[in-house]
Amino acid sequence: MWLYLSYTRLMKTAISIPDPQFAAAEQLAKRLGLSRSELYQHALAEFIDRHDQDCITDMLNHVYDDSHDSGLEPNLAAMQIQSLPTDEW
């Protein structure tokens, strides 16, 4: 019986970055005890996560946009909006 562990294929790519950014990345990788690849993987994952969160916020803003027709009777919709807290985001 074979035990299969999760396996992710790795994609190699080449990127061009300015020399000062490359030098700073090299220093950071060394300070954190990471390889260059690990540092770039972490940085890209964080960048993607940040923009995924922006996408979720955009979708929620669209759902709760005042111009969006909820299909509710207008007076009920108005009461729902009035019942929401007035916290700023």
User: Is-contact 35 29, C-beta < 8 A?
Assistant: yes
- Helices 19-32 and 36-63: crossing angle in degrees, nearest 10, is 100
Q: Per residue of the chain (89 residues), what is the pLDDT tens digit?
A: 455 555 567 888 899 999 999 999 999 999 999 999 999 999 999 998 888 877 888 878 877 776 656 677 888 878 888 888 777 76
Amino acid at 31: R
Threshold 0.75, pTM exceeds: no
Q: Do the beta carbons of residue 36 and residue 29 sit within 8 Å?
A: yes
What pLDDT is recorded for position 67? 67
- 3-state secondary structure (DSSP) of residue 60: helix
